[in-house]
Structure 1
Amino acid sequence: MNCFGPDCDIINCSPIISNRLNVTCIYDNRIISCNDNIKPGTIAKYSCNDQYEPVSSIHKFNKQAICQKNGKWSSEILKCTPKCGYLKNSVPLIVNGYEIDFILPWHATVFIKRKSGFEFACGATLISEFVIVSASHCFSGLNESDVKIAIGKRYSNITIHSDEPNARIYNVLRILRHPLYMDKIGNYGQDIALVELTESVELNENIHPICVDWQNDDILTENQMGIVVGMGITENETFSDITRMAKLQVISTENCINSQPTDFRKYITFTTFCAGLDNGTSVCNGDSGGAFQVLSRDLKTWKIQGIVSLSPRKKSTFYCDPFKYTIFTKIEVYLKWIKLILDEIEEKTLEKEILSKYEPIL
């Protein structure tokens, strides 16, 4: 069909669909849907939903856009990202660690399928609404159906207790081990994995991601203190029933190498760092995959800088030696890989949101 007249040059603007945005579209002084193609002259007013914030300070004053006749919005639509790394209340600063009566909002627990059901295996950390990060070796030989992820749990069994009101259990869509990870054959190098959940985590004050230091503003330094949370082996050589916290110190590579048994030094590379204290405070079996986390320089947010990977064993046992330093996977080495995966998942999620708006009603 041919078109004649001035309206033929008018192109509608694309819809504004995002679960991260609170958006209102106004056309001819009437509120209209933002989910359909939008007529020129429409004003879109928006802000980030609760638990989200503008992706950068550049977007701080980006509050509205106007649909123009060429089908373009007058300015880039606001982009929001989850608020991360904050605590509702101040936290005083797990072997010889402390039991804690709260859960860090980003701490996650990996449960794997055994004959008797799903059992506690490793720690993990929430870094987006759909993704947790952990150690690759925690998932060796496992399929997605063999794993469940708990967020908001204090206890090491998968049953949700009455004093875990925010705890949730999630199924796994994909386990994404780093492509260069080779387990024992490769000295556990690249011991990092991302796990995509089957559904979005509902973010609130009690459950939200830790911050990732995308710009490397807070690179680790020797003697810097961080915390690790886990439910691994305690000083009594038994698994902890409840979450414990320990403060550990970053150790120089040279000191770490000199202090480790000769056959363990091969695990210390440029992709790792060491932390611990020589007084018996350490992380141990079962703490693998948990985060080494530090407070940002502005003292406002917590950032993940490492992942618990390996510890030397006590002689003639399968248990760690708490008087030896622990090796952590260094997050800063893998930022590009992590960002690539998160962007892919975010794009896929947006496509699903758009499709769901246009599903036919049968």
Structure 2
Amino acid sequence: MKGVVLVLALLLPIVCPHYAALVRTRKPHKHKECGIRKISTQALIVQGSDTVPGEWPWHVAVYHVSDRGRTREYKCGGTLINRSFVLTTASCARYGVDKPEGSILVELGQHNLRESFAQTQQFPVIRAIVHESYQQGEHKYDIGVLQLKTLANYSDYVQPVCMPRPSEKIEDYEDTLGTIVGWGFFEAGKISDKLQSAQVPVISIITCLQSERDFFVREIYDGMFCAGRQNGTTPCFGDAGGGMFFRTGRTWTLRGIISFTSQVYTETAGCNTSSYFGLVNVGHFLPWIETTIASLRSGDRRTTK
């Protein structure tokens, strides 16, 4: 799977008072067991930057495993929503559908892909579910669920994110800053060793269409939204499946899953860093997520794509 990865411009972090003022006040979640960082972090920034261990304790690394477990390759990101389940894209999760247990491996608490970290937890995936309407090669219904073999252990470096409320609409977040996270290709053909993050605003569908109408009119569906800056901060190969997070007080909520950028590039050619990108609207798929998780917990062995 050629996913989308975070290309974060190698510029100095810049504090942005304009967009910072657009972070709206919303009621905090009643349940405080989700979306809480245990590690103190830096100020709001605009350009991409390295993160610190534990800064995004719900972001996970997803690997595809082959050659009877002897080979694994980092493919995409994901988000831990409770001790057993990770949300990602269908395009990444489909690799594990109808394959043996452990065909997908998830790492929680990971920070540097090229160094061992004592706080990292590894879990084979026992079930990979993709949305039943997803079609390979398309972005519509690009959402999947991964079930871990055993329960994750919460720590300073591993925590679940909060899910959005059904009553909240993505239109309410337009021009509001969210954070995207990933190990993106920071230059042609090279994945960033350290986890990166960047602040980008949600963009209206109208603005998105006006920017590249011929492309986005084909790719943006119900259940998706646009984000970005057109300034060199964008996802690229490998960041698909990672989340877009919003903060209310101390609590972080998952609103989007990175799905695609506006142009298809090869991993050696790099990515389009001057375009908006498309995300799955998590709130739109809450009923599907809840039904899927309930079925997995009840042991439903339904056929999946």
Question: TM > 0.5 between the two?
Answer: yes
Give 1:221 shift. 1.9
* Separation in structure 2 between the aligned mates of residue 345 and residue 204 of structure 1, nearest angstrom: 25
Aligned pair partner of 2:238 in 286, 307, 310: 286
Cα pair distance change 1:112/1:82, threshold 3 Å: farther
1:232 is aligned to 184
Instruction: Note the 1:1-150 alignment, pairs <5 A.
Output: 83-91=33-41, 92-93=43-44, 97-103=48-54, 104-114=56-66, 117-142=71-96, 143=99, 144-150=101-107
Deviations 1:6-43, CA, capped at 9 Å, x for gaps: xxxxxxxxxxxxxxxxxxxxxxxxxxxxxxxxxxxxxx
CA distance in 1, matches of 2:108, 2:160: 11
Aligned runs of 1:295-334 on 2, under 5 Å?
295-296=247-248, 299-313=249-263, 319-334=270-285
Equivalent pairs, count: 262
Aligned match of 1:355: none
Are 2:166 and 1:166 equivalent residues in the alignment?
A: no
1:70 aligns to what?
A: none
Relative contact order (alpha carbons < 8 A, sep ≥ 6): 1 or 2 greater? 2
How far 1:228 sits from its partner (Å)?
A: 0.9
C-alpha change, 1:152 and 1:218, in structure 2 (3 Å) is farther
Tell me the TM-score normalized by structure 2: 0.78
Q: What do you get for the CA RMSD once the two structures are aligned? A: 2.6
- Whole-angstrom CA distance in 2 between matches of 1:250 and 1:188: 18
Gaps of at least 5 residues in structure 2 are: 1-28, 300-305
CA distance in 1, matches of 2:235, 2:133: 25
Label 1:217 to 1:269 Cα distance change in 2 as closer, same or farther (>3 A). closer
Could you give the per-residue CA deviations for residues 65-100 of structure 1, whole angstroms, max 9, x where no partner exists? xxxxxxxxxxxxxxxx7810001244322x951011
- Checking the alignment, whether the CA contact within 8 Å between 1:313 and 1:319 is kept in structure 2 is no
Report the alpha carbon displacement of residue 257 of structure 1 after superposing the two structures with TM: 1.0
Please show how residues 338-349 of structure 1 align to structure 2 within 5 Å: 338-346=289-297
Letter in 2 for 1:333: H
For structure 1, the 5+ residue unaligned runs are 1-55, 58-80, 349-362
- Offset of 1:155 from its aligned partner? 2.0
Cα offset for 1:314? 6.5
Amino acid in the other structure paired with 1:255: T
1:96/1:282 contact within 8 Å kept: no
Percent identical residues: 26
Distance 1:318 1:141, change over 3 A: farther
SS at match of 1:309: strand
Q: Which residue of 1 aligns with 2:4?
A: none
**Counterparts of 1:225 and 1:271 in 2: how far apart (Å)?**
19
Q: CA deviation at 1:166?
A: 1.4
Pairing partner for 1:213 from 161, 164, 167: 164
The 1-side partners of 2:190 and 2:258 are apart by 19
C-alpha contact 1:231 1:286 (8 A) present in aligned 2: yes
2:264 and 2:297 map into 1 onto residues whose CA distance is: 44
